[in-house]
Amino acid sequence: MSSILTNNGAMVALQTMKSISKNMGQVQAEISTGMAVGSAKDNAAVWAIAKTMESDVAGFKSISDSLSLGNSTISLARSASEQITKLLEEVKGKIVNSQEENVDRSKIQADIGALRDQISSIVGAAQFNGLNMLSNKSKTVGTGTVNVLSSLDRASDGTVAASNINVGKSDLSTTTSVVGGTALAVGAALTAKATGAATTAATALTGAASAPTTAITIVAGAVVAGDGYNITLTAGAAGLATANTASIQDIRYVARDGDTAADVAKGLASAFNDYAKKQGLDTQMSAAVGTGATANVLTLTGSTTVGNNVTAQLLAYAPAGNTIGGGLEKLSTVDVSTSAGAESALAVIEGLTQTAIQAASDFGTAQKRIEIQQTFVGNLVDSLKSGIGSLVDANMEEASARLQALQVQQQLATQSLSIANQAPQNILALFR
């Protein structure tokens, strides 16, 4: 049936032309923007995923900046540690020279003093943007470790957590530690820090054929920055009379942030042995620490000579009033002006050199890890960008082909509509 009021053919042709025009608009938008999903209305799910990934890319770019800053900071600390190691090697050479009898020890001591001052200068200057990785004397918890932001970890539920590369400070200053705080009362206050016979009263190490010992356990988890510890020795026998400590500074250790009970035990053992050697009693008494689970146990050993008796007592001191010493504080005690001093200095410098070597090694390891993470973050950003592109970028070859096809369809639709609009004209022939 033909009608002059309703032209179904024209309506169909018009709807087809509208659909083609809409599709052409989408293709033209893809060509002009290069994106198949340019807004949420194009594909809400894909758009949401792409935007989340884009936010991650922005976050990882900031992380890359953080890693660059951390790398520069650790690189400076490593370089300074290596330089200090070289200076300590020079000091060792001076000490070895002082072992000779026919040398001017006073001049050698002056050279050692100059090298010591240079080490202090390097430590003071080894800061990057105000952060000095070679100084760790703050009593604030957490200041002994620097956290370098390294990653953003997104869980399957969408939550995001930051990951850090933790780099510990290595104190290479020559600052002398001082125990000047308030002594903890013998009893609960003291046993919260250390336990053992010598923490409640002076324990006698009575000389005998079988070397007498007493064990002191530094309580694990109880050490805080600034805690002071000292061991007092009292001896009445003629053979050990020189063992008597004159002050609480003779055998001491002040904990720094990050120290564990094992570090305290090790520090006290070193101070005890240094004092015994200085007094010429290193064959009469010694201190040692355990290994593994007993690394926090300090064992004092007395003389094997009957009558060479000595009593020992350990006390702990509250942080306020104590001064945390540098990792190379023993360098200030090196004195080769005498034959005895030259001999003892050789053992001291060996330990200090190892401290500096360990610091440089630790910083080198941390810097290498940061550099690896930098490379990974760069590759990760590239992968994320590629993933985003695969989700939202337009396929330009496909878009070109579609545009060509739609242009042909548009021409045909225009012709079809023209034909449909001419249909009512044919009705006039019926009335001629």
Tens of pLDDT along 217-243?
Answer: 999 999 999 999 999 999 876 778 889
Find how far residue 110's CA is from the centre of its chain: 38
For residue 432, count other CB atoms closer than 10 A to its CB.
4
Asked if 395 and 34 count as a contact pair (C-beta separation under 8 A), the reply is no
Asked if 133 and 380 count as a contact pair (C-beta separation under 8 A), the reply is no
- 288: tokens are 């040692």
- 193: tokens are 């820090």
For CA atoms 146, 79, 350, 234, give the dihedral sign: negative
Checking if the pLDDT of 180 tops 80, the result is yes
Mean pLDDT of the region 262-282: 92
Mean pLDDT of the region 120-126: 94
Structure confidence at residue 372 (pLDDT): 96
Give the C-alpha separation, 199 to 130, whole Å: 41
Asked if 313 and 198 count as a contact pair (C-beta separation under 8 A), the reply is yes
Structure confidence at residue 402 (pLDDT): 85
Mean pLDDT of the region 155-182: 90
Structure confidence at residue 398 (pLDDT): 82
CA distances from 387 to 30, 148, 183, 217, 390 (A): 18, 27, 63, 57, 5
Question: Among residues of the chain, what percentage have pLDDT more than 90?
Answer: 53
CA distances from 19 to 22, 34, 333, 357 (A): 5, 22, 92, 76
SS (H, E, C) the chain: CCCCCCCHHHHHHHHHHHHHHHHHHHHHHHHHHCECCCCCCCCHHHHHHHHHHHHHHHHHHHHHHHHHHHHHHHHHHHHHHHHHHHHHHHHHHHHHHCCCCCCCHHHHHHHHHHHHHHHHHHHHHCEECCEECCCCCCCCCCCCEEEEEEEEEECCCCCEEEEEEEEECCCCCCCCCECCCCECCCCHHHHCCEECHHHHCCEEECCCCCCCEEEEEECCCCCCCCCEEEEEEECCCHHHHHHCCCCCCCCEEECCCCCCHHHHHHHHHHHHHHHHHHCCCCCCCEEEECCHHHCCEEEEECCCCCCCCEEEEEEEECCCCCECCCCCHHHHHCCCCCHHHHHHHHHHHHHHHHHHHHHHHHHHHHHHHHHHHHHHHHHHHHHHHHHHHHHHECCHHHHHHHHHHHHHHHHHHHHHHHHHHHHHHHHHHHHC
- 307: tokens are 């009558």
Give the number of C-alpha atoms closer than 13 A to the C-alpha of residue 280, restricted to the C-beta side. Answer: 6
Average pLDDT, the chain: 90
Give the C-alpha separation, 39 to 29, whole Å: 11
Structure confidence at residue 133 (pLDDT): 95
Give the C-alpha separation, 257 to 290, whole Å: 22
Checking if the pLDDT of 432 tops 80, the result is no
pLDDT digits (tens, 9 = 90+) for 197-210: 999 888 999 988 88
Give the C-alpha separation, 169 to 78, whole Å: 11
Mean pLDDT of the region 129-133: 92
Mean pLDDT of the region 5-33: 83
Mean pLDDT of the region 141-163: 88
Domain ranges of the chain: 8-34+394-431, 46-170+363-385, 188-324
Give the C-alpha separation, 189 to 268, whole Å: 19
Residue of 392, 389, 396, 402 whose CA lies nearest to 40: 392
Asked if 37 and 391 count as a contact pair (C-beta separation under 8 A), the reply is yes
pLDDT digits (tens, 9 = 90+) for 363-420: 999 999 999 999 999 999 999 999 988 888 787 888 888 888 888 888 888 888 888 8
Report the chain's C-alpha Rg in angstroms.
40
Residue of 336, 251, 340, 343 whose CA lies nearest to 300: 251
Confidence of residue 428 (pLDDT cuts 50, 70, 90): confident
Between 1.10.287.130, 3.30.1440.10, 1.20.1330.10, 3.40.50.620, what CATH number should domain 46-170+363-385 receive? 1.20.1330.10
Region of poorest pLDDT, from 8-12, 317-321, 356-360: 8-12
Region of poorest pLDDT, from 13-22, 109-118, 125-134, 282-291: 13-22
Checking if the pLDDT of 1 tops 70, the result is no
Q: What is the pTM of this model?
A: 0.81
Structure confidence at residue 8 (pLDDT): 82
